[in-house]
């Protein structure tokens, strides 16, 4: 795949990346998890309103949220605690959470009900296909990828989510000035992310290398446990260049 030229902004990467259209390798393995009674009830009662089916055409997100607002998409929100907290703290923004695991979807729905949130929608589907099919180019203000599976064994590196084709697609969905924010607690993956993100012409690093964790990115319970054990955490924040390449 040829990367998009910075002078013209990010292209529609899906048209240029056939490997994203028919992917034989995925960055996740579907796990079977037991739903709690509360999660199952939330899925039944709130799912029809807040969980959206996969669509082959971009959605009218303004209509779905009932307003026009800055829009953030998060890939792999886990159990949704940090997503719900951020949506609560930033009510002026709309959040699209993408997650494949059913207990996590049910857990986020529970938190949404507890916090009275209406600025979150969920898509339970493969994130690459969601970005490719359901999100129009130049429409996101931010895209978050926090602690994706590091696939630490070398033979599994091809499964890592952050790869050149995905980054080009993500950049094409960001508006000029929009931010791609990644975080990992695996140093080798952080170095891989930095190389891939720096190689994408449509993006520029907002700092020299790794960024400080923004105060609004609430550490997840998994991250907090790692920090207590002395693990490092690396944040990377890249900005979509404008049409002039700035």
- What residues are labeled active site? 149
Distance CA 23, CA 3 (A): 19
Checking DSSP bridges between strand 120-123 and strand 51-52, what pairing results, if any? Answer: parallel
3-class DSSP state of 218: coil
Q: Are 113 and 93 in contact (CB under 8 A)?
A: no
C-beta separation of 106 from 43 below 8 A: yes
Question: How far is 193 from 202, CA to CA, in rounded Å?
Answer: 15
Q: What DSSP state is assigned to residue 56?
A: S
- Bridge-based pairing state of the strands 120-123 and 234-240: unpaired
Contact 196, 168 (CB under 8 A): no
């Amino acid at each position: 795949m040829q990367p998009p030229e910075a002078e013209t902004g990010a292209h529609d990467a899906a048209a240029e990346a056939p490997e994203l259209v028919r992917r034989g390798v995925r960055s996740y393995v579907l796990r079977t998890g037991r739903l709690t009674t509360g999660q199952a009830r939330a899925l039944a009662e709130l799912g029809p309103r807040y969980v959206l089916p996969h669509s082959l055409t971009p959605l009218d997100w303004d209509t779905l949220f009932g307003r026009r607002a800055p829009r953030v998409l998060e890939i792999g929100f886990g159990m949704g605690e940090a997503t719900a907290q951020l949506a609560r703290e930033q009510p002026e923004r709309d959040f699209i959470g993408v997650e494949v695991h059913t207990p996590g979807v049910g857990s986020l729905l529970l938190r949404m009900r507890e916090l009275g949130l209406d600025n979150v929608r969920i898509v339970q589907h493969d994130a690459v296909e969601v970005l490719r099919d359901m999100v129009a180019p130049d429409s996101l203000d931010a895209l978050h990828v926090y602690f994706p599976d590091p696939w630490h064994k070398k033979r599994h590196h091809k499964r890592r989510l952050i790869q050149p084709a995905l980054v080009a697609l993500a950049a094409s969905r960001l508006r000029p000035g929009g931010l791609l924010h990644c975080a990992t607690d695996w140093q080798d993956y952080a170095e891989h992310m930095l190389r891939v993100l720096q190689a994408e012409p449509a993006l520029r690093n907002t700092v020299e290398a790794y960024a400080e964790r923004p105060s609004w990115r609430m550490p997840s319970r998994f991250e907090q446990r790692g920090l207590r054990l002395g693990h490092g955490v690396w944040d990377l924040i890249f900005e979509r260049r404008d049409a002039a390449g700035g």
